[in-house]
Amino acid sequence: MQLTTAGSSCCLALLAILLPAEGTAAGSLQGTPGESAEAVKAAEVGARTWLALVDKGQYGASWDEASTNFKISVTKDAWEKALREVRAPFDPMGARERLLAEFRTELPNSPPGRYVVFQYRTAAAGGKRALETVIMVADGERGWRLAGAFIRPDQ
């Protein structure tokens, strides 16, 4: 888990892969428009399924459903503990509005692959809003699985 402070805003992050700093290139956009659209559609089914597990508090199951590389990089116990801590200020989470869906073949500090980066504006407890970034990766025969997740307050 990473806790960073930028000015007066606080960002809480759960990362299995490192996302680039704001304003830097995030990786290659490759593939045909049809391939990208197909990947986004399939990956979003996986992202929404994964988010539903987390929203129900099934943190162990969310780790079970993550990508192979994700599970190598963080233990199940560490993941469950981090999720409890990071989501506490936001739970329960409500409706999500998708703001971004980008197909990528490269991400910093990650092996080449097929990734889709999603960003959602999410209603949270007490009238708060959160920005959630969910990165899905094509994980062989397992299909689209979580590669990383990030949550921060929405200003």
Domain limits for position 52: 10-18+26-153
3 falls within a domain: no
5 falls within a domain: no
2 falls within a domain: no
Tell me the pLDDT tens digit for each residue of 26-74.
Answer: 445 555 666 789 999 999 999 999 999 999 999 999 999 999 999 999 9
The model's pTM: 0.81
49 falls within a domain: yes
**Domain total of the chain:** 1
Domain harbouring 35, CATH code: 3.10.450.100
CA proximity to 54, closest of 5, 22, 96, 115? 96
1 falls within a domain: no
Backbone φ and ψ for 37, nearest 5 degrees, come out as -65, -40
CA–CA distance, 62 with 65 (Å, rounded to integer): 5
103 falls within a domain: yes
Strands in 129-138's sheet, in edge-to-edge order, are 2-6, 9-14, 144-153, 129-138, 115-123, 96-104
CA atoms lying within 13 Å on the CB side of residue 124: 19
